[in-house]
Structure 1
Amino acid sequence: MLTPNKWPDRSSTLTRYVDWDPQSTGHLFSAEKSATLPYEHRVFSGGGTRLFKIGQLPGQMYTRTLGSYRDQTETGGSLLSLEYTYEARAGQNWKAYTRIWSDAAGRVVNFDEAGNLNVYVEQFPDGTTASARMSRLAQLPATDQALVELSKSTSIWSAGDKIYGLLNGTIRSWNYSAALNNITLGPSAAGTVIATGLTDAATAWSPAPGVFYTKTTDGAVKKFTGSPLTLINDDFAVGLNGDVFAGAASCLSSAGDEKPYFGQVPVDDLNVPSVPPASTTSPPPSGPEVVSGRFLLPDGSPAAGMNVVVEASDLLPAENEGVVNLPDLGSTTTDADGGWSLTIPDSLPPEVQTVVSDNGGALNVTATTTGRSESGVTLVGTDNLTAAPEEPGTGTRTRFAATVTEGEGVHSVKLLPALADPETVVPDPTPEEQQTTYAAQLDRQATYDSDQVALTWQSDRGTSPEAYNPYLINGTNITSQRVTPLADTCYWDSDVVSRQTAYTVVGESHAYWDAAGNVEYKSTLSNTIDVGFSASGDLWSVSGSTSVGSSAAGVAGFSWRGPYVAKQWKVPIEYNKVKKTRRCGGIPMNSFYEIRPSKFKVPSGQPVGAYGKDARQLDGPVRYANSNPRYRSWLPPYATWAIETGHSVKWSGAAVAFGVSFGASTSYDGSHKQSIRAGGKTARKHYIWGYSAPPGAHMGVIYSN
């Protein structure tokens, strides 16, 4: 199965997919093999490993030629290995044949410009591939009533001795045969109705007679079989972009218990250890009482000698209930390298201690420093971090607080201009504006891209700028200007100007082949989520993160699902848009904006959780072969494994709030974990591997093969 991602003005990508065991509910997955098609080149299947490609002749802009190719990726070759090119013949206009496919005999079938149906066979007049040509075997005139009906179809394909057409949610079939100077379609002009009510189907195809797939415009694939036609898998594949060219077989055989593979049959990897015994003890939690970071000037050099104030950032006021000067936890000065650190006080103010206790023992703080450029522009550096203070009375730290601070490292944060008008509030983007943003585009993708890298700057109300320079102000670039620390007699206050609930990724489960997986997420929240920063209120970047550990009793993930299921799980989190204003003697001087996650909150009438993106493409033999060998392990039949320690991966695009995309991760424990369970089809091992470590360590995510 091959799908090109088409673009009207550039090259496209041809990707090979494998339809494993189409007799059963099965699964469609990428073989991780692709080829680039030049602009206006098109391909269609010739059956089996054969492909036909229509391409431009060198130096002839308006002429197209037809070539035969083989998919040799199973033996280490190319996806498009040229067999031969057919001679260009008078009357053959391959460019104009927009509806073209091959029948069960491998012959080329097409509608020409006049609407006639043509069947071509290949010939080798002198017995060499150099003389290969396509000769018309027969033609059915456009006036044939069965052809008139077939031509109305939006999707046409062949399987066995039939031609199928999809039109307005209905699949019809016509008996088909072709011989010298004779094509028949029948038995009736209207064809035979195979299925109706497929209202979301944009295209369709068959891997063999009796099995049908439909695809929506957004790439969701459903599978049907039987008589009458019955839906057997409504989640066969997602994110399948472009047109699908299936190499239909004459019949199907069951894969049985055989594990999916590409090329050679897999053998057990004797160097991979089995999963270790589950740990019965856990070390006492430890974590920093010290927060630290590093501030940089606009040109990237150290911001030395800058005053840094550290505040408890979770004590925000209710929306539209005035402003608050967040409690100071202390101040310090950056060293020659721009670095700073602060030891959290042993005794926190009562209101801060209450918030910490409500947040699972984690203390979220914001470190702020302020300066002024030579041209008088106020610059602010903000970093959001989490500390794990000891609880009063017990002298211990909570596991959540210790985990979220583990391995966080030192942030390096540049000072940025504070340009927002301190006297007015920038309005939230409208729903229509938010639909045009990078965040909305990323959120609409059906599959999760683990390599997705977030933009440095995002617009919350339109297309994000590709090259935004925040230091270009009124035509002057202040990047290299000297920065002077501002007096610490002024302060920044906080005002919540808007609140919004966004479903945020908190888990991910993987189950390939003979396995099932689940996400457990209950009793308490346990997340670390990006914080947004905006100098003006409409362009946003990430400024550290904050940890949300508040109580959310009753929240749950999803139960065991599989095989061939990999899903993200999301829960509703409330986000605050905060306007921070610098006041000197009570007079507002400068402002900037933040977007901060705060707590679990279910919108009225909405679910407590929802499925996120599909992640099946991250499992399977190709991904396993490309994984770090040190992170691999295996499960015997019916065995389970769960991650209960460390951090998950950081999911890019985990949530969209106020038109901005944010990343997030989860801290694993007994209430927040990803599990996998091997089935018992055969005695084969079920291989798993971690994103960042093997089982028994901080895996991040369990992947499945």
Structure 2
Amino acid sequence: MTVVPEVIAPTDASADECKSNVATYVVGPIGSGGLLKRSIQKYVDWDPQGGGTAAPLAESPDAVGEIPIFSKVFTAGNGLIYETTNDGKLNVYKDQTDSGGPLLKLVKTHTAPWKRFKQIWSNGPLIHVANNEGGIDRYSQSDPVNGTGAITKINMAIPPGAETISEIASADDVWSVGNSIYTLKNGTVRQWRSYSGGLMAVKVVATGLTGALQGWSPGPGTFYTMSNDEESEGVVKSYTESPFAQVNGEVRTGISGRAMADVASCLAPADPSAKPFSSIPEDPDVPAVPAEGAEPLPLTSPSVFSGKFTLGNGAPASGLPVLLEAIDVVPENGSAITLPTLGKTVTAADGTWSIPLPSALPADVEQAAAENGGVVNAVATVAGQTSSGIQMAGVSHLSAAPVAAAPEVQARVADAEVVPAALQPASSISGSDEPTSLADSTANPRDAQYAQSWGSKLDATLADRNGDSPLPKWQSATGDVPTEDPYIINGVNTASMPIEAKDGGCDRTKSEVIDKKIYYTTVGEAHAFWDAKASFDYDNKVSSTVETAAKVGSKWTVTGSVTLGSSIGSSTGYTNKGSYYAKQWKIPLLYTKIKETWRCGGGGPMTRYVIKPGKYTVPAGGATGKYGKDVRHLDGTKFLKSPKKNRAYVTAGSYFQISKNKSVKWSGAVSAFGVSLGGSTSYDKDHRQRITAGNLKHMKHYIWGAKDGVSGKPGVFYSY
């Protein structure tokens, strides 16, 4: 970034007017407030003078309002928010949330003295309007503190033709601080001085702000930019003088909408010991964090594979032969093998089935399990046809562990999520867009196509807004989420059609790797608000469960998960990050795309494709682990909406960690070959989320579990 020295002359203000926190309002994208509405969310900048380097830009609890879709909103200091409407009104609102009132308290309605405009902004006493005739009009507010005064056009207009007009009218954003006006256009911020004669002088204060589309100032000496429009998420960056230079490249991520500040005339340093929103009363009923208990024993037998197959409409798929095969034996060099059979059975009346893990495993399966921490990963296959002859196939990936496995391994497998697997139409054209072999995938990389998928775009977002929300039922590896129903065949819905078994069930599967690639996969996160520090440890071995996906028709769907337990022989993660820090952590795993050919009932061959996670593999010259998505939005005043039973506090100067049970499931843990997959991690002595509270004793440091109390099965815990 190139900077030009610039000094902003402060407006007259006494020392007691200087603010160490300033409200920032974000007008959400269309529909964020409901049908034909947009939301206005209040944030508070707790370190405006330092550009958010010492304290956060944090959401204010329950400070949300709504405006119509087509209104234009701007701020004017002193908690005033103006709304100019499509029907020619100018509404003046006062933010009364600090005294327990509403965010948008209507204090005055005017008939707007303008009709059309290109830009509109205010410094409090003055409202500037870049009109459609090519000039800039100015209007005075006679009561800039309460907003109840008259709005009067004054004789200080900048006429059409002035050199400033086109620059301001076409700017990406415009805002005011005192008698200075700032414009952001094409990554350059200019300062314009307002004089009594209506002229403006130009100075460049910063250039090279790539991607910045919004700007605002909380007061003199600081400005922020955001790299988003109203339809996408953004990154907030801050700049302070003199000269202006970037001081924080990640003040906040994941904000969607149009941001504007309740600009102050003078800024004061932040108090690093002050807890944001400290006016929130402490809860005397929140207990101190408990000591860690013993690792619980598995509730179900980890040495039995079990699942359920259904029709497309969720009804049980009964009476279908199930073939269970080991899947970790497929060589990575592209050689084709026949998968070893682990057992056979038939689905019960309710679609369920179970097969015990054989006490004696084939040698290659035994070796693969030893390299995977003792866990055996398998695939269960069922197939049949409708009365009209439509081929239907079902696939489920799952894991088991022998009774001799270590208790933590048994617990990890027993705790893995098993979901019903629906049979789907098997297409004869499935795979026409896939590599024919491992050599073909190397010669014809498809990364550019995968990057266009819904899963890849989700993976590329900087803040985790998906959380543990369910993934789409169907995915395309090269485009948006499919809208067509794969159960509609020749205009007929096959989802509820009864499925008859083929004689003899399915033969053993022939499998070969046709593509492989390393993808960084989320395995944990840690949180530290206020004066705390966050740590996440992922040591010595892989200890995660990651979803698989399969395609027997034209679309991909999640088909279960496999448990990963291979040794990594090293440590990865992060330690003592903070304050006001929360990031996910990702490790490199090798994913393979496998082509499987199988036959059922003596009929012709059918093909399915499988995406399967595998070993921890650091790419040449690559990172042993990477920071993932920003999850700070889950901390802070979200505490007020958490279940009380999930809350606890950490004593000043002490720490708390979870090292048992398993984490939450991250729905978008990875995008592999363009398909989004979920994953979770098992906590133990080598895999921990930890928080260390600061030494400020005047307030409690609260934490709360995402799914349960912190001594139960919280998944992860958050911080306030």
Instruction: Provide TM-score, normalisation by structure 2.
Output: 0.87
For 1:154 and 1:419, locate their aligned partners in 2 and report how far apart those are by CA, in whole Å. Answer: 49
Q: Deviations over 1:426-467 (max 9, x none)?
A: 34793333233211221232211125331111111222223x
Corresponding letter in the other structure for 1:155:
D
How many aligned positions are there? 673
Corresponding letter in the other structure for 2:134:
G
SS of the residue 2:339 aligns to: coil
Question: Which residue is equivalent to 1:61?
Answer: none
Q: Percent identity over the alignment?
A: 36
Q: Deviations over 1:617-650 (max 9, x none)?
A: 00002x1011111111111112111111111110
1:22 matches 2:45: no
Question: Which residue is equivalent to 1:51?
Answer: 81
> Which residue of 326, 329, 345 maps to 1:312?
326
Corresponding letter in the other structure for 1:562:
G
Summarize the alignment of residues 429-508 of structure 1 with structure 2, pairs less than 5 Å apart: 430-449=446-465, 450=467, 452-466=469-483, 468-488=484-504, 490-491=506-507, 492-508=509-525
The CA deviation at 1:210 is 1.0
1:171 matches 2:189: yes
For 1:44 and 1:639, locate their aligned partners in 2 and report how far apart those are by CA, in whole Å. Answer: 45
CA contact (8 A) 2:383 2:505 kept: no
Question: Which residue is equivalent to 1:210?
Answer: 221
Summarize the alignment of residues 138-157 of structure 1 with structure 2, pairs less than 5 Å apart: 138-144=156-162, 153-157=171-175
> Which residue of 180, 202, 207 maps to 1:190?
202
Corresponding letter in the other structure for 1:121:
S
* Greater Cα offset, 72-81 or 648-657: 72-81
* Greater Cα offset, 450-459 or 26-35: 26-35
Question: Which residue is equivalent to 1:417?
Answer: 425
SS of the residue 1:403 aligns to: helix
1:674 matches 2:689: yes
Instruction: Provide TM-score, normalisation by structure 1.
Output: 0.88
For 1:258 and 1:121, locate their aligned partners in 2 and report how far apart those are by CA, in whole Å. Answer: 40
Q: Deviations over 1:210-256 (max 9, x none)?
A: 12222224621222224233433222111233332111101123442
Question: Which residue is equivalent to 2:351?
Answer: 338
For 1:408 and 1:662, locate their aligned partners in 2 and report how far apart those are by CA, in whole Å. Answer: 15
Corresponding letter in the other structure for 2:79:
T
Question: Which residue is equivalent to 1:368?
Answer: 381
For 1:377 and 1:102, locate their aligned partners in 2 and report how far apart those are by CA, in whole Å. Answer: 67
CA contact (8 A) 1:403 1:647 kept: no
SS of the residue 1:244 aligns to: strand
Q: Deviations over 1:120-143 (max 9, x none)?
A: 12469xxx97x9554345312244
Question: Which residue is equivalent to 2:608?
Answer: 592
For 1:6 and 1:268, locate their aligned partners in 2 and report how far apart those are by CA, in whole Å. Answer: 34
* Greater Cα offset, 115-124 or 521-530: 115-124
Q: Deviations over 1:69-105 (max 9, x none)?
A: 123344554433322221244xx21xx22211111x3
Q: CA 1:363–1:241 in 2, change beyond 3 Å: closer, same or farther?
A: same
CA contact (8 A) 2:664 2:716 kept: yes
SS of the residue 1:465 aligns to: coil
Corresponding letter in the other structure for 1:215:
M
Corresponding letter in the other structure for 1:98:
K
1:355 matches 2:368: yes
> Which residue of 94, 102, 109 maps to 1:85?
109
Corresponding letter in the other structure for 1:608:
T
The CA deviation at 1:558 is 1.8
CA contact (8 A) 1:224 1:230 kept: yes
Question: Which residue is equivalent to 1:637?
Answer: 652
SS of the residue 1:441 aligns to: helix
Q: CA 1:548–1:76 in 2, change beyond 3 Å: closer, same or farther?
A: same
For 1:195 and 1:639, locate their aligned partners in 2 and report how far apart those are by CA, in whole Å. Answer: 43
For 1:40 and 1:585, locate their aligned partners in 2 and report how far apart those are by CA, in whole Å. Answer: 62
For 2:25 and 2:49, locate their aligned partners in 1 and report how far apart those are by CA, in whole Å. Answer: 19
> Which residue of 678, 695, 700 maps to 1:663?
678
SS of the residue 1:646 aligns to: coil
1:100 matches 2:108: no
For 1:528 and 1:122, locate their aligned partners in 2 and report how far apart those are by CA, in whole Å. Answer: 61
Corresponding letter in the other structure for 2:46:
W
Question: Which residue is equivalent to 2:312?
Answer: 298
Q: CA 1:52–1:258 in 2, change beyond 3 Å: closer, same or farther?
A: farther
* Greater Cα offset, 406-415 or 237-246: 406-415
> Which residue of 154, 158, 173 maps to 2:176?
158
Corresponding letter in the other structure for 1:3:
V
SS of the residue 2:421 aligns to: strand
For 1:44 and 1:260, locate their aligned partners in 2 and report how far apart those are by CA, in whole Å. Answer: 29
For 2:696 and 2:603, locate their aligned partners in 1 and report how far apart those are by CA, in whole Å. Answer: 73
CA contact (8 A) 2:125 2:142 kept: no
Summarize the alignment of residues 570-585 of structure 1 with structure 2, pairs less than 5 Å apart: 570-583=586-599
Corresponding letter in the other structure for 1:160:
G
Question: Which residue is equivalent to 1:4?
Answer: 27
The CA deviation at 1:14 is 2.8
Stretches of structure 1 that go unaligned for 5 or more consecutive residues are: 58-63
Q: Deviations over 1:186-207 (max 9, x none)?
A: xxx333x434443453332210
1:245 matches 2:269: no
Question: Which residue is equivalent to 2:250?
Answer: 235
For 2:413 and 2:580, locate their aligned partners in 1 and report how far apart those are by CA, in whole Å. Answer: 34
SS of the residue 1:458 aligns to: coil
CA contact (8 A) 1:121 1:137 kept: no
Q: CA 1:151–1:302 in 2, change beyond 3 Å: closer, same or farther?
A: closer
CA contact (8 A) 2:218 2:262 kept: yes
The CA deviation at 1:587 is 7.7
Q: CA 1:315–1:49 in 2, change beyond 3 Å: closer, same or farther?
A: same
Question: Which residue is equivalent to 1:519?
Answer: 536
Corresponding letter in the other structure for 1:16:
K
> Which residue of 405, 411, 414 maps to 1:406?
414
Q: CA 1:423–1:203 in 2, change beyond 3 Å: closer, same or farther?
A: closer
SS of the residue 2:364 aligns to: helix
Question: Which residue is equivalent to 1:60?
Answer: none
Corresponding letter in the other structure for 2:353:
W
CA contact (8 A) 1:505 1:651 kept: yes
Corresponding letter in the other structure for 2:464:
Y
Q: CA 1:436–1:409 in 2, change beyond 3 Å: closer, same or farther?
A: closer
Q: CA 1:423–1:198 in 2, change beyond 3 Å: closer, same or farther?
A: closer
Corresponding letter in the other structure for 2:409:
A
Corresponding letter in the other structure for 2:72:
R
For 1:19 and 1:348, locate their aligned partners in 2 and report how far apart those are by CA, in whole Å. Answer: 61
Q: CA 1:340–1:75 in 2, change beyond 3 Å: closer, same or farther?
A: farther
1:532 matches 2:563: no
SS of the residue 1:522 aligns to: strand
SS of the residue 2:568 aligns to: coil
The CA deviation at 1:528 is 0.6
For 2:506 and 2:567, locate their aligned partners in 1 and report how far apart those are by CA, in whole Å. Answer: 36
Question: Which residue is equivalent to 1:68?
Answer: 92
For 2:163 and 2:198, locate their aligned partners in 1 and report how far apart those are by CA, in whole Å. Answer: 13
For 1:236 and 1:423, locate their aligned partners in 2 and report how far apart those are by CA, in whole Å. Answer: 44
CA contact (8 A) 1:555 1:609 kept: no
Bigger relative CO (Cα 8 Å, ≥ 6 apart): 2
The CA deviation at 1:682 is 4.1
Stretches of structure 2 that go unaligned for 5 or more consecutive residues are: 1-23, 436-440
Question: Which residue is equivalent to 2:663?
Answer: 648
